[in-house]
Chain A
Amino acid sequence: MAYSCAYFTDESNSLAEAEENKLLLTAKKLDLKEGDLLLDIGCGWGSFMFYAAEKIGCRTVGITPAKEQAAFVNGVAEKRGLAGKVTAEVRHVYDMDYPQAYFDKIVTIGAIEHMDDLHRVFAKCAPILKDDGLMLVHGMTRPWKDREKELQGITTEAGELVKEHFGVGYWKSLWEVMEALEKNDFEILDHENITRHYQLTTERWFESLQDNEKEFAGKVVSEEKYREFMVFMAGYSIGFETSHTLCSQILCRKIQSGDIRPALPLTRQDMIVSTYKE
């Protein structure tokens, strides 16, 4: 169960294929290895944690403020015999208190939009990541001019509706995310703009909602709520298509001037997810 941008190697990819691609891409970028201890900030329903544990053999810790998500993840982990390898904790990102240099890798997927102070978040991440560790930040941003207007208190009715629907919403500009990373001792190794992928993802979600109207409307949710979701899902798709909302993956590592640089891959080849997966 995923509620974030999938990754399309081809526009004909199904949503399930694209979700699998995203998991693989993220794992590749993080250079996940068997035995790595991975922290997933805003782990949601645990899809990346299970992928890392089951496909690669990582040990994973996820944090989420939602007790329902943590209970779901831990329940599934128990059922799949992954207790101890996949653990979700109910914890706010600002309350992380793990030991120094504890994690090999950190990932956060589709969660920075819910965090009001990224400086505070990344300041918490740097000490608990090993010196040779990697962190991947995947999240939505918005063009600076739109963000600037919001900071000046200029909002639109549509923008307000999105915030209400989305719960907490802090779409920052890309440079603000990067600034927060750099000011908290991270070096940006790679940035990939995956906006088009999120447009395709939301289009698939929309189609899926539409195709399953009989199962949802008036049964799982009220008909009004169903129609509201249809509008927002269509709206998100338009938001990506018309450059109101953007999405990125940012790979980074801890940096200190004077450090010997790690022998990172010379090209991006190792990060590429092919249509014909190995």
Chain B
Amino acid sequence: MKGKLNARDLFDHEIPKLLPEKPEVAKRINAVVGIELTGEDGGYWTLDLTENLVVERGRTKEPKCTIIAHTDDFEALLAGGSVRDLLQAFKEKRLQTSGHLPTILKLEGLLTSYSKMAS
């Protein structure tokens, strides 16, 4: 994935490729998390960031927490890499979450660093 950040590519191809290369970033999270993106190119991905380090399409495991956002918002926020923008999006509910919020905050670091590596 080079150029514009694409969430589908990120979860289908880039993160699965990067997880074995940089497992220490993922293992710090040590949880199963869900990503639910709405809109065009949306979908649901399960990221198992425990021992297995697997990304799968669909809700294949019970997540400790889930991020819910429109694909456009999600891609813009990741591409921007601004913590302040993420906070604002969360406050305005453009970025929704369910489950354990602290784990989602840890996930932000992983997604930001992997999306930078992938772009």
Q: A: which residues have CB within 8 A of B?
A: 156-158, 161, 203, 206, 210, 224, 227-228, 230-231, 234-235, 237-238, 241-242
**Is B39's beta carbon under 8 Å from chain A?**
no
Q: Is the CB of B91 within 8 A of A224?
A: yes
Beyond A224-B91, A227-B90, A231-B90, whether A206 also contacts B101 by CB under 8 A is yes
Report A-chain residues with C-beta under 8 Å of the C-beta of B93.
227
Beyond A206-B101, A234-B101, A238-B102, whether A157 also contacts B82 by CB under 8 A is yes
B46 to chain A: closest CB distance in Å?
Answer: 21
Interface members, chain B 85-119 (any A CB < 8 Å): 87, 90-93, 101-102, 104-106
Report B-chain residues with C-beta under 8 Å of the C-beta of A206.
101-102
Q: Is the CB of A158 within 8 A of B83?
A: yes
Report B-chain residues with C-beta under 8 Å of the C-beta of A241.
102
| Closest B residue by C-beta to A210 | B101
Q: Is the CB of A157 within 8 A of B102?
A: no
Q: B: which residues have CB within 8 A of A?
A: 28, 82-84, 87, 90-93, 101-102, 104-106
Q: Is the CB of B101 within 8 A of A231?
A: yes
Beyond A224-B91, A224-B92, A231-B90, whether A157 also contacts B83 by CB under 8 A is yes
B77 to chain A: closest CB distance in Å?
Answer: 13
5 tightest CB-CB pairs across the interface, nearest first? Answer: A234-B102, A234-B101, A224-B91, A157-B83, A158-B83
| Closest A residue by C-beta to B106 | A238
Complex-state Cα separation, A183 to B59, whole angstroms? 59
Report B-chain residues with C-beta under 8 Å of the C-beta of A228.
87, 91
Report B-chain residues with C-beta under 8 Å of the C-beta of A238.
102, 105-106
In the assembled complex, 20 residue pairs joining A and B whose CB atoms fall closer than 8 Å, in A order, are A157-B82, A157-B83, A157-B84, A161-B83, A161-B84, A161-B87, A224-B91, A228-B87, A230-B101, A231-B90, A231-B101, A234-B101, A234-B102, A234-B104, A234-B105, A235-B105, A238-B102, A238-B105, A238-B106, A242-B106
A241 to chain B: closest CB distance in Å?
Answer: 8
Report A-chain residues with C-beta under 8 Å of the C-beta of B104.
234
Complex-state Cα separation, A53 to B106, whole angstroms? 42
Report A-chain residues with C-beta under 8 Å of the C-beta of B105.
231, 234-235, 238
Report B-chain residues with C-beta under 8 Å of the C-beta of A161.
83-84, 87
| Closest A residue by C-beta to B104 | A234
Complex-state Cα separation, A114 to B106, whole angstroms? 27
A156, A227, A237: which contacts B91 (Cβ < 8 A)? A227
Report A-chain residues with C-beta under 8 Å of the C-beta of B82.
157
Complex-state Cα separation, A140 to B87, whole angstroms? 24
Complex-state Cα separation, A161 to B91, whole angstroms? 14
Q: Is the CB of A231 within 8 A of B87?
A: yes
